Amino acid sequence: MKLKQQLKTPTSSQLNSHSNLIIVLPKEQIKSKWPVFPHSNTIMERLNRAGKKCTASPFSTDLPNKIGTHATIVCIKKDISSFELLTLCRKAAGEQLKQNPREIALYMPGMEAEPAIRTAEAMLATLLAACYEMPSYKSKKSKPLKLNSLVIYNLPEEQDFDQTFAEAEGNNLARYLTALPPNDLTPALYRKRITTLAKEYGWKMDFLDMKALRKKKAGAFVAVAQGSPVDDAGIVHLRYKPRSKSKLKKLALVGKGICFDTGGMNLKPAQYMHGMHEDMEGSAVALGTLIALTELEVNFEIDCWLALAQNHIGPKAYKQNDVVTACNGTSIEIIHTDAEGRMVLADTLAIATKDKPDLLMDYATLTGSCVGALGTIYSGAFTNKNEFINDIIDAGRDSGERVWPFPLDEDYDKDLESTIADIKQCTLTSGPDHIHAARFLQRFVNKTPWVHVDLSAGNNKGGLAHIATDTTAFGVRFSLDFILNKKQWE
C-alpha cells in the first residue's frame, strides 16, 4: 500500500476530492469547541440528530458534496491506550472497507502532534492488516480489497513508518501460515515455504532432521516426533547477519511449530482437537519477527529456531510413564502426551543457548491454563530476568499487544518432582500449568536472558486490536517494541 503524507491542512477541494474519508477528532477539544473544517457543521448536526455529540464508536455519513464522500467520524481521548486506539481504528476502517475503495484519506483536525502521529500509525497498521488476503479454499472467491493508498493529512512533520510496514509484513505472513489447513502445512511443506523465504530474505538456513537430532541425543523432541507416520520433523535454523562486521549483540528467536496436535496417546476430544492446525503459531510468530527485523536491517545478529513436528497417535508414539533424556542430559518422565509443546521446545532451547545469545525469546501456543488465567485478549509472559518485567508490560501496552508476566519462583518445581527422572513433564492435576511449563522450560536455557511468551491471544473470536481475523499471530508487534524500543537487553 502506498502512503501519502500531506503535512499541510487540506483545502476544502482536497477533502472533497476523496471518495472515502476518516475524520478523527480530539475528544477533549470537542467538549468545549468544535474544530472548523469543511462540512464540520453538517457532521455536528448529524451527530446531534443521532444523539452522539462526540462518539467513541464510528459514525458514518455521506457528505453533501459532488461525489458524496463517505465519511467515518470517531473521537479519541488524548491518553487513549494503544490497544483501544488500534481497536477503534479497526472499527473505523471496517466502515470504510465495506465500500471497497481504492484510496482512503485520514484527516485529524485539531489533533495535537503526538496523538496525531499515534493515530496515523495505528490506522496504517490496521489497513495493512485488513488488506492482506488470507487463505481461502472456497469455490466462490470473495472480491479482494482494492485499497492501495492511504493519504494522511495534517501530520506535524514527515514520519518514518518503516517499523509499521515491517511489523505488518511479519504479522501478515504469520497469520497466513497459521491459518493454512494441516494438509497444506505439514512439517515438510512448511520447511519448503521457509526455504523460499530464506532465499528471498538472504538468510542462511540449516535443518536438523530426526537423524541429526538422535545424534544430538535430543530425546525430548524425538519422543514427540516418533509417532508421525512421515519422517519429516526437525528443527529449522535460520541466520540473519547485518552488514556491520563489528562485535554485535545476538538475538535468538524460538518457535513451537506443531503442525497438528492430536494429543498423542492422550487423544484430544473433537472440540479440543478442532483448530489444532494452529498449534504451530509460535513458530510463525518467531518467523514473522525475523522477517520484520530483517526488513528493518537491524544491526545485531539473529538466530531463529523453528521446532517443526506433528503430535500423532500410533504404535510408535510416546506414552505416559516413558522416560526420555533431552540433549542437555535432563531426564524427563512423561506424564501427559498432550504436553508435547514443552518437549520439542526443551531440546530446541537447549540447542539455541549453545550459541550464547544475549537475549532468547520463545513463542508457543503452549497451555490452556494461560487461556484460563487471561482469556484470549492477553498473552502470558515469563522471564528469568526480573529487570525485564516492567519492559515486558510496557512493550505490551505501547504496542497494543498486551502481555502479562507470571511468577517463575523455584518452589513451583515441587509439583514437577519425579521419583524416577530429573523432572516430570507436567502434572495430572489441575493447577498453574502455564507456570509449570515455564519452570520446565527454564531448565533448558540456563542463565541466558530469556522471555517466554505463552500465546493465549493467538486466536480471539472477532479479532483483536487492529487485527480483524480470529487468527491474530499475536507477538510480532510486541516483540518489535520490546527488542527495538526498550533496548534493556542490549
The string of pLDDT tens digits covering residues 123-148 is 999 999 999 999 999 999 888 899 99
Three-class SS state of 42: helix
Give the mean pLDDT of 71-83: 94
Q: What is the pLDDT of residues 331-344, one digit of tens each?
A: 999 999 999 999 99
What pLDDT sits at residue 489? 67
Catalytic residue among 256, 342, 424, 443: 342
| pTM recorded for the entire structure | 0.96
**pLDDT at residue 32 above 80?**
no
What pLDDT sits at residue 29? 78
**pLDDT at residue 48 above 80?**
yes
The backbone torsions φ and ψ at residue 273, rounded to the nearest 5 degrees and listed phi first, read -80, -25
On average, the pLDDT of the chain sits at: 95
The span from the CA of 49 to the CA of 261, in Å, is 54
pLDDT higher at 11 or 379: 379
Question: What length is written for the chain?
Answer: 490
Q: What is the pLDDT of residues 457-487, one digit of tens each?
A: 999 999 999 999 999 999 999 999 999 998 7
Q: What is the pLDDT of residues 243-277, one digit of tens each?
A: 877 667 999 999 999 999 999 999 999 999 999 99
Q: What is the pLDDT of residues 284-313, one digit of tens each?
A: 999 999 999 999 999 999 999 999 999 999
The backbone torsions φ and ψ at residue 40, rounded to the nearest 5 degrees and listed phi first, read -65, -40
Q: Is 49 annotated as catalytic?
A: no
Give the mean pLDDT of 141-166: 94
Q: Is 342 annotated as catalytic?
A: yes
- Residues 451 and 383: beta-carbon distance below 8 Å: yes
- Residues 191 and 308: beta-carbon distance below 8 Å: yes
Give the mean pLDDT of 418-431: 95
Domain 2-158, classified CATH 3.40.50.2300, yes or no: no
The span from the CA of 75 to the CA of 59, in Å, is 10
The span from the CA of 284 to the CA of 287, in Å, is 5
User: From the CA atom positions of the chain, what is the Rg in Å?
Assistant: 24
The span from the CA of 60 to the CA of 441, in Å, is 50
Measure Cα distances from 236 to 118, 233, 283 in Å: 37, 10, 10
Residue 383 pLDDT class (50, 70, 90 cuts): very high
Percentage above 90 pLDDT, the chain = 89
The backbone torsions φ and ψ at residue 58, rounded to the nearest 5 degrees and listed phi first, read -65, 140
- Hey, do 2-158 and 164-486 end up sharing a CATH topology, with the first three levels equal? no
Residue 55 pLDDT class (50, 70, 90 cuts): low
Domain boundaries, the chain: 2-158, 164-486
What pLDDT sits at residue 1? 87
Q: Tell me the torsion sign for CA atoms 204, 471, 398, 447.
A: negative
What pLDDT sits at residue 53? 66
List helix spans (H) across 202-316. 210-215, 219-225, 270-273, 281-295
What is the SS3 string spanning 169-210?
A: HHHHHHHHHHHCCHHHCCHHHHHHHHHHHHHHHCCEEEEEEH
Catalytic residue among 27, 241, 268, 397: 268
Q: Which residues contact 381 (CB under 8 A, 6 or more apart)?
A: 392, 396, 403, 404, 405, 406, 451, 452, 453, 454
Domain 164-486: give its CATH architecture: 3-Layer(aba) Sandwich (3.40)
What pLDDT sits at residue 261? 98
The span from the CA of 197 to the CA of 190, in Å, is 11
Give the mean pLDDT of 113-128: 97
The backbone torsions φ and ψ at residue 222, rounded to the nearest 5 degrees and listed phi first, read -60, -35
